[in-house]
Every structure is written in structure tokens, then in C-alpha cells.
């Protein structure tokens, strides 16, 4: 059985992490703009009323839910990268121990 190609596994996982992190960041960074657009749709009403109505809407709840889910997905992808790093370290240590035992 051949050794796993750890660098390639890490590259793939890291690329996925970067993409998911970018998606989560985009939602987080556009949160205020999205709320402002929703408030503007309310028309000529006091800002406090527009904000209250916008934040009470299913549309806002859906946006927040997607934003939190995107951050969760990005965090899970990061954990996957860390898992691969740990597995590589374990493999590297086991290889070093095997070489040491052969010398004895």
C-alpha cells in the first residue's frame, strides 16, 4: 500500500476551505447593505419601524440562517484541514519511529 499524498489532500481541503470562507465572508460583509435594502423597500416610514419590520421578516431570517450556515460550513472545512495536518503529523511520527526501530 502506498503512502497517502498528504500535500494533495491538504491542497484540496484548503481550496474548499478558502471558497467556503469567502462565501461566508461575503454574506457577513453584505449583511448591513442587505438590511438597508430591505428597509428601503418599506417606503416612507420611520427608520426604527422599517428596521423592526425588516428584521421580523422571513426574508431576513432566511438571510441570517444562510449566513450562519455558510460560516458553519467554512469552519467545518477548516477543521478538515487541521485534521489532515494532524493525520500527516501522526503518519510522519510513525514513519520516524519505524526508521528508528529498524536501526536498533
**What CA–CA distances, in Å, run from 35 to 7, 13, 26, 44, 68?**
42, 33, 14, 16, 16
Contacts of 84 (CB under 8 A, 6+ apart): 6, 9, 10, 13
Q: Would 20 be classed as within a structural domain?
A: yes
Residue 2 has pLDDT above 70, yes or no: no
Query: Is 77 inside any structural domain?
Result: yes
pLDDT digits (tens, 9 = 90+) for 72-96: 999 999 999 999 999 999 988 988 8
Range of the domain at 29: 7-103
Structural domain contains residue 1: no
Specify if 2 maps to a domain: no
State the average pLDDT over residues 34-63: 97
Inform me whether the pLDDT recorded for 1 exceeds 50: no
Number of separate domains in the chain: 1
Report yes or no on 36 lying in a domain: yes
Is residue 14 one of the residues assigned to a domain?
A: yes
More confident residue, 95 or 35: 35
Higher per-residue confidence, 7 vs 49:
49
Amino acid at each position: 500500500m502506498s503512502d497517502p499524498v498528504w500535500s494533495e489532500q491538504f491542497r484540496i481541503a484548503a481550496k474548499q476551505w478558502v471558497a467556503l470562507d469567502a462565501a461566508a465572508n461575503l454574506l457577513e460583509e453584505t449583511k448591513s447593505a442587505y438590511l438597508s435594502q430591505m428597509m428601503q423597500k418599506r417606503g416612507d416610514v420611520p427608520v426604527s419601524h422599517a428596521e423592526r419590520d425588516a428584521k421580523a421578516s422571513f426574508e431576513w431570517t432566511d438571510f441570517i440562517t444562510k449566513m450562519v450556515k455558510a460560516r458553519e460550513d467554512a469552519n467545518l472545512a477548516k477543521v478538515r484541514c487541521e485534521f489532515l495536518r494532524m493525520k500527516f503529523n501522526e503518519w510522519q511520527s510513525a514513519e520516524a519511529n519505524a526508521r528508528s526501530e529498524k536501526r536498533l
